[in-house]
Amino acid sequence: MRTLLALLFISCMHAVAAQRLAPGFDMQEYTELLKVGRSFVDSVIPGLDIPHSSRFRRVYRSPVMGLENMWELHTDDRGTAVISLRGTTAKAVSWLANGYAAMIPATGSMQLEKGFTFEHQLADDPQAAVHVGWTVGLGFLQRDILPKVDSLYTAGVRDVVITGHSQGGALAYLLTAHLWDLRARGVLPGDLRLKTYASAAPKPGNLFFAHHYESVTREWAFNVVNAWDWVPETPMSIQTVEDFNAINPFTDGKAAMKELPLSQRVVARHVYNKLDKPTRKAQRNYQHYLGSSASGFVQRTLPDFVPPPYAPTNNYARAGTIITLMPDSAYRARFPQQRERVFVNHMPDAYLFLAERNGPAVPVMKALPTLQRDTLTLDRHRDVLRGVEFHAAGDGWLLTVHAQQGFVLERVGMAPMVFPYSAPVKEKNGGYRYVSTIDNARIAVVVSDTANAVPGTFPTTVRIGNVDASSTHIWHYGTGEFLPPVRLHDIWMLMTMDGKRVDQKLFREGPRLEFFVADGHVVGSDGCNGISGPFTATPEGLFLGDLMRTLRACPGAGERIERAFHKALGSGPLRYTFHNNDLTLRAANGTVLVFRRVD
């Protein structure tokens, strides 16, 4: 198979650069992928009587595995491959995969066969959880898929689309999370581009999984939903107070009631228990019947399967960027709404009808066209929200650098060039250099004068060179800036300094920082005085400019912390990391400040 795939794809290596996947939803791509799914059916079935794809052809069909799972590999012979995942079949074991609906931690392992244990890390949040039945299917599928991806890459293919309808869409979520994790950990190549279209998919996991999935995939993973389809509303969700973020007014509700007068406390506890206990009981029943009991039926098909520990949650949530297809009177005429036809709004022909009525493209972010306008301008607010790490512009050109989307160089009158991402390297002169190469093109981005950056002025000097192999000395000159992460845009309360808890009772108001990332401005308090000023981002961390400070005198036990706080903030670059709701700033003078998000 490795040799076969190499022969199939080696002839299209010259076209890879021209056919590169672009971020953003593309309706034409989606309709072709619906037609790719038609390939699983070898006869006419109502709801699946749609045309075959005119762009892609099948080059591999897997054997049936796991809980009646199957996948196919398709190619357009122009550098793009499609991993197509089959949905639910008429067999009982395929429906069992849906019904085995307890949740398991998104990171863990499970024995699927003797000698085969599936290790998975589908999200880095310890509270993230996923559907156990579809994770079993993923375990078998990925064992067959990964060698084919390796062969594709060896043959020069860098663009891989993941798709599936119904249960296939649910599997597409989990396979996407798995492949993005493997790429992040270096198991898969960093320049492998992955794009996902989950169609008519049920919910794959809880809200914490959805948050991670969406933050990682951003404009590269889409969930297409017919507004009248009931399947994307499943599995049923049960939310308990334990499903909230750690800081909330519900989890510790009983403790808060102790402050109430006795009569009010009795009533409040009664009402709280009436609301809280039914959801907890329902969650336990859900786990018992759709977890422990269902696993016995799974073991009849997979006798060596060892059920993994279940997560105490069933708060299912939709994931990915949602693309909603809205039915209209023409749709109702074509697909009469009859209660006995429970899948009338779910089958691929209904989705294809709506997709084609929505036109060739209804983009969340359009694929980059050939540029015709005379000038290109930077948009700080837009790029911060998109997660852009660095952007720059000059006479007739614009560059954005994104950890997932790579280097996108737009030039007036020319098609955009997209290069794999590579981290910046610090130069001896204090600047930075990005370098990336693909096929016969190379990009070198040299950034200088970052230490004197003033927010809003795009002060860094940028040179871009070697974008074409035939023009090795061409340079574009302009200005740009590094951008802070959008996650920083919040209010952060100081919790510890150098590992010691900060007692908020020592201050008029607790030490805190509030970052306005689109404006490059920070405000807050040192515990006594208000502070405000500019800040900039570099690969080394955050630089806080000259902070203005009110002149209130606050002698006392908190004064030492205030001085240390100011000294740390002004000592140089602040390296930052996030973990759940915490922000850690490591100052140049060695001080470690841990903040907690409070807004």
Q: 556 and 420 in one domain?
A: no
At residue 456, the pLDDT reads 38
Q: How many CB atoms lie within 10 A of CB 437?
A: 15
Q: Is residue 545 one of the residues assigned to a domain?
A: yes
Q: 537 and 478 in one domain?
A: no
At residue 249, the pLDDT reads 80
Q: 349 and 435 in one domain?
A: no
Strands 417-419 and 425-426: unpaired
Lowest mean pLDDT among 184-198, 390-404, 466-480: 466-480
CA 488 – CA 485 distance, rounded (Å): 6
Last residue of a domain, one of 426, 459, 482: 482
Report, as an integer, the average pLDDT of 236-264.
82
The continuous run of DSSP H or E covering 423 comes out as none
pLDDT band at 395 (very low <50, low <70, confident <90, very high): confident
Q: Is residue 288 one of the residues assigned to a domain?
A: no
Q: 9 and 44 in one domain?
A: yes
Q: 59 and 99 in one domain?
A: yes
Coil, strand or helix at 246: coil
Q: Are 315 and 237 in contact (CB under 8 A)?
A: yes
Lowest mean pLDDT among 30-44, 253-267, 329-343, 349-363: 349-363
Fill in the amino acid letter for 459: P
Distance of CA 508 to the CA centre of its chain: 40
Tally of CA atoms within 13 A in the half-sphere of 44 that contains its CB:
3
Last residue of a domain, one of 482, 498, 514: 482
Q: Is the pLDDT score of 183 beyond 70?
A: yes
Distance of CA 185 to the CA centre of its chain: 15
Lowest mean pLDDT among 104-113, 229-238, 254-263, 501-510: 254-263
At residue 19, the pLDDT reads 53
Report, as an integer, the average pLDDT of 285-290.
92
pLDDT band at 18 (very low <50, low <70, confident <90, very high): very low
At residue 181, the pLDDT reads 96
At residue 289, the pLDDT reads 92
pTM above 0.75, yes or no: no
Instruction: Look up the CATH number of the domain holding residue 553.
Output: 2.40.128.270
Q: Is the pLDDT score of 203 beyond 60?
A: yes
Peptide bond into 235 cis (omega under 30): yes
pLDDT band at 455 (very low <50, low <70, confident <90, very high): very low
Q: Are 122 and 128 in contact (CB under 8 A)?
A: yes
Last residue of a domain, one of 462, 482, 502: 482
Q: How many CB atoms lie within 10 A of CB 87?
A: 25
Fill in the amino acid letter for 245: N
CA 148 – CA 146 distance, rounded (Å): 5
Q: Are 132 and 205 in contact (CB under 8 A)?
A: no
Q: Is residue 170 one of the residues assigned to a domain?
A: yes
CA 458 – CA 584 distance, rounded (Å): 27
Q: How many CB atoms lie within 10 A of CB 380?
A: 18
Range of the domain at 573: 486-597
Highest-confidence segment of 13-27, 134-148, 471-485: 134-148
Q: Where are the beta strands (DSSP E) in 420-553?
A: 425-426, 432-438, 441-448, 460-465, 475-482, 491-497, 500-501, 512-516, 521-525, 530-538, 541-544, 548-549
At residue 14, the pLDDT reads 37
Give CA separation, 270 vs 243, 254, 262, 279, in Å. 21, 10, 12, 15
What are the φ and ψ backbone dihedral angles of 554, each rounded to 5 degrees?
-135, 70
Alpha-carbon torsion angle 214, 217, 220, 226, nearest 10? -30
CA 53 – CA 75 distance, rounded (Å): 11
Q: 495 and 580 in one domain?
A: yes
Q: 328 and 182 in one domain?
A: yes
Fill in the amino acid letter for 221: A
Q: Is the pLDDT score of 321 beyond 70?
A: yes
At residue 555, the pLDDT reads 74
Record the tokens describing residue 505, joined without a space. 């009772």
Lowest mean pLDDT among 2-16, 84-98, 111-125, 427-441: 2-16
- More confidently predicted of 430 and 26: 26
CA 82 – CA 199 distance, rounded (Å): 14
Q: Is residue 540 one of the residues assigned to a domain?
A: yes
Coil, strand or helix at 387: coil
At residue 59, the pLDDT reads 93
* Residue the block writes with tokens 């076209």: 15
Strands 460-465 and 475-482: antiparallel
Q: Are 467 and 409 in contact (CB under 8 A)?
A: yes
Q: Is the pLDDT score of 452 beyond 70?
A: no
Lowest mean pLDDT among 111-115, 141-145, 345-349, 448-452: 448-452
Q: 319 and 193 in one domain?
A: yes
Q: Is residue 244 one of the residues assigned to a domain?
A: no
Using alpha carbons, select from 344, 277, 53, 17 the residue that is nearest to residue 158: 17
pLDDT band at 250 (very low <50, low <70, confident <90, very high): confident
Q: Is residue 261 one of the residues assigned to a domain?
A: no
pLDDT band at 466 (very low <50, low <70, confident <90, very high): low
CA 457 – CA 448 distance, rounded (Å): 14
CA 481 – CA 278 distance, rounded (Å): 53
At residue 460, the pLDDT reads 60
Q: Are 524 and 511 in contact (CB under 8 A)?
A: yes
Q: Is the pLDDT score of 360 beyond 60?
A: no
At residue 448, the pLDDT reads 77
Radius of gyration of the chain (CA): 27
Q: What is the DSSP letter of 187?
A: S
Q: 585 and 470 in one domain?
A: no
Q: Percent of the chain scored above 90 by pLDDT?
A: 47
Q: Is residue 284 one of the residues assigned to a domain?
A: no
CA 441 – CA 393 distance, rounded (Å): 20
Number of domains in the chain: 3
Q: 127 and 219 in one domain?
A: yes
Q: 212 and 77 in one domain?
A: yes
pLDDT in tens, 35-94: 999 888 765 566 667 888 889 999 999 999 999 999 999 999 889 999 999 999 999 999
Q: Is residue 248 one of the residues assigned to a domain?
A: no
Report, as an integer, the average pLDDT of 523-545.
87
Q: 534 and 407 in one domain?
A: no
Instruction: Look up the CATH number of the domain holding residue 43.
Output: 3.40.50.1820
CA 123 – CA 211 distance, rounded (Å): 9
Q: Is the pLDDT score of 4 beyond 60?
A: no
At residue 413, the pLDDT reads 75
Fill in the amino acid letter for 355: A
Mean pLDDT for all residues in the chain: 84
Using alpha carbons, select from 461, 464, 469, 471 the residue that is nearest to residue 396: 464
Q: Is the pLDDT score of 387 beyond 90?
A: no
pLDDT band at 6 (very low <50, low <70, confident <90, very high): very low
